[in-house]
Structure 1
Amino acid sequence: MIRPLLMCFVLCVVYGSSKPTEKKDRVHHQEPLSHLEHDDSKNHDYDHEAFLGQEDAKTFDSLSPEESTRRLGIIVDKIDSNKDGFVSEDEMKVWINNAHKKHIYNSVESQWKDFDMNDDGLISWNEYKNVTYGSYLDDPQLDTEFNYTRMIIRDERRFRAADRNRDMVADKQEFTAFLHPEDQQHMKDIVVQETMEDIDKNGDGFIDLQEYIGDMYASQEGTEDPEWVVSERQQFSEFRDKNKDGKMDKEETMDWILPSDYDHAEAEAKHLMHESDANQDGKLSKQEILDKHEVFVGSQVTEYGEALLRHDEF
């Protein structure tokens, strides 16, 4: 039976081929704070998920403006760790990082029982493989539309990389590294390797300009390339291909997809501070945050808002 991870991969393949003019971003700023577009001119949905975590953001969307603002006030008191009555950029960053960690924890927990078939508190490679690829393993003739054999090989390689003690059995920490490799230093090589295998169509071990653009954009005959494609060609030549040999090697690819000089939580903290710091004193009062509640939590009145179960913390 094909379970969540495999189906997610399949859906990504389908989605990636369904919108030829839409840019596909390969850059990982660790596991993303949100998979939504960050465009404040349209909405603040990205900020809501980054600030609250993806699960709690959905809850807040179902609350009335009054209730979401009340709950935001409780959250602000928690963010203010030194209890000086203000939220600093560092406190905001810590909060966003914790919301991100909570999302990852929930992601692992939601899948754990599916794979820990013998309830021993561990997930072996065989358990994972049998749950994820059971139907294919029973009948390899199903390997038609998608190359499940290749997917199994890739999954096993990633599982081995996450398995620090090399016993092919994953505890919670190792399984978290398997599911969310972008957040783990020892998993970066495998993330780069998988990315290069996806893009390197001619199999020469490098990513050339044609492969780089082709991964993000499928050109259509008789139409001009969008401006962002022209910009990406320039980015490749000026910044991605550092040694100017016309292609990206492993190190150049890592610099591209796993930039070491970018902290997503820090960037979001700076953004929220900028959006809400009315008196420009470099810190946020509780009232400044509440005055900008639509940036942090949003709200929309629905018939289900008051019916939601309230957590003890609220």
Structure 2
Amino acid sequence: MKYLLVLTLISIVTGAALGTKEHVPPVKKPHEEQGEHSPHFDHEAVIGSRKAEQEFDEMSPEEAKQRLTLLVAEHDPNNDQIITKEELVEWLMHSFKNLDEEDAAEKMTEEDVIDVDDKVSWEEYLKSQYNYEPGDIEDFKKLRETNKDNEQMKETFELLVLVEDDEARFNAADANHDGMLNKEEYFAFHAPLEHVQMHEFEIKRVMKQFDKNNDGSITKKEFIGDITDKERVIAEEEQFKLYDTDNNGKLDDGETRKWVIQDSRVAATEEAEHLLNMADDNKNGELTLAEIVDHYDEFVGSQATDYGRHLEDEL
């Protein structure tokens, strides 16, 4: 009876947890919502804070333009009132880091629930994310040892893989090995690709996930995995070709590293090109302060643009 109860409870948690696992290494938030470019992504990317983005949505157009002018000045190092493409990319990369830090701070507050000491223990993380105690996980591991081929427990064991992966990442981020994550360590745990000390762990994590035959490389078949949708398979094949630079049909250590360890520059460059396309009126490859302010609704929005968005949703 105890095991049946365990399986029932764990299946609920597993469904939510497994849904968060991605086929590819962590990347920036998607630019699109329902097939269209997301204005919220643009605004967050420019402002660098979801909280501040919400504040802009409450501003009048005049106030939003004033705040945007100040924001431009912060990212205009030579004060020429011109934002070049490279300056815009650096601006967006800085914003992405701020967004990650904001997310991490919010998550840390949610997970620091037992003693509220501005640190997160593994016990606190496990309780917050999975609603289990360490002892529960040990019980599930014992179940796996004796029932590894039991199909009824498949979801249980899949959940254990997630938990073990999180625990390994937790330990890798715990720089002083005190069993707790402080603010800096938690940020490394939350956004490992932004922290060099976490890169080797990420490489090993991906190899463990994809290198099924343990030969130290990832074949195209392993890269695609269990994806069956034709369009997604084609997209994955194109991605594989992009990183298989020697065209030998597999990703070696260096190629895998380039695939996994991607900083935010790629996403920032794509977003910069989008904003340039929207606001560079004279098509000279850079943005003047006037162009940015004229297109303020593309960069930060305001009460007026937020109202218009809600009106479109209602229609």
Per the TM superposition, whether the score is higher than 0.5 is yes
Q: Secondary structure at the match of 2:225?
A: helix
1:10 lines up with 2:18 in the alignment? yes
Larger helix proportion of the pair: 2
Q: Secondary structure at the match of 1:272?
A: helix
Give unpaired runs (5+ residues) of structure 1.
Answer: 17-23, 220-224, 306-314
Q: Which residue does the alignment assign to 1:51? A: 46
- 2:265 & 2:31 partners in 1: Cα distance? 19
Superposition map of 1:32-43 within 5 A: 32=28, 34-37=29-32, 42=37
Deviation for aligned residue 1:288: 0.8
The 1:70–1:39 alpha-carbon spacing in structure 2 relative to 1, beyond 3 Å, is: farther
TM-score by length of 2: 0.70
Q: Which residue does the alignment assign to 2:148? A: none
* Deviation readout 1:34-56 (Å, 9 max, x if unpaired): 33339997554433332123614
The 1:246–1:79 alpha-carbon spacing in structure 2 relative to 1, beyond 3 Å, is: closer
Q: Between Structure 1 and Structure 2, how many residues are aligned? A: 282
The 1:62–1:7 alpha-carbon spacing in structure 2 relative to 1, beyond 3 Å, is: farther
Deviation for aligned residue 1:157: 1.5
The 1:202–1:131 alpha-carbon spacing in structure 2 relative to 1, beyond 3 Å, is: same
| Conserved 8 A contact 1:64-1:302 | no
TM-score by length of 1: 0.70
Superposition map of 1:17-28 within 5 A: 26=24, 28=26
The 1:114–1:260 alpha-carbon spacing in structure 2 relative to 1, beyond 3 Å, is: closer
- 1:87 & 1:46 partners in 2: Cα distance? 20
Q: Secondary structure at the match of 2:125?
A: helix
Give unpaired runs (5+ residues) of structure 2.
Answer: 1-8, 144-152
Opposite residue 252 of structure 1, the aligned amino acid is E
1:218 corresponds to which of 228, 233, 246: 228
Q: Which residue does the alignment assign to 2:237? A: 233
Deviation for aligned residue 1:70: 4.9
Quote the sequence identity (%).
29
* Deviation readout 1:14-64 (Å, 9 max, x if unpaired): xx6xxxxxxx6x255xx52x3333999755443333212361445545666
- 2:115 & 2:37 partners in 1: Cα distance? 47
- 1:120 & 1:258 partners in 2: Cα distance? 32
- 2:309 & 2:235 partners in 1: Cα distance? 46
The 1:170–1:218 alpha-carbon spacing in structure 2 relative to 1, beyond 3 Å, is: same
| Conserved 8 A contact 2:89-2:265 | no
- 1:36 & 1:303 partners in 2: Cα distance? 17
Q: Which residue does the alignment assign to 1:107? A: 103
- 1:6 & 1:61 partners in 2: Cα distance? 36
| Conserved 8 A contact 1:62-1:304 | no
Q: Which residue does the alignment assign to 2:218? A: 207
Opposite residue 298 of structure 2, the aligned amino acid is V
The 1:65–1:41 alpha-carbon spacing in structure 2 relative to 1, beyond 3 Å, is: farther
- 1:51 & 1:39 partners in 2: Cα distance? 21
1:121 corresponds to which of 91, 96, 118: 118
| Conserved 8 A contact 1:6-1:132 | no
2:261 corresponds to which of 255, 258, 262: 258
* Deviation readout 1:245-268 (Å, 9 max, x if unpaired): 533234322222324795433453
Q: Secondary structure at the match of 1:158?
A: helix
Q: Which residue does the alignment assign to 2:290? A: 287
Deviation for aligned residue 1:154: 1.6
- 1:101 & 1:131 partners in 2: Cα distance? 24
Which has the bigger relative contact order, CA under 8 A and spacing at least 6?
A: 1
Opposite residue 164 of structure 2, the aligned amino acid is I
Tell which deviates more after alignment, 284-293 or 116-125: 116-125
The 1:165–1:297 alpha-carbon spacing in structure 2 relative to 1, beyond 3 Å, is: same
Opposite residue 124 of structure 1, the aligned amino acid is S
Q: Secondary structure at the match of 2:30?
A: coil
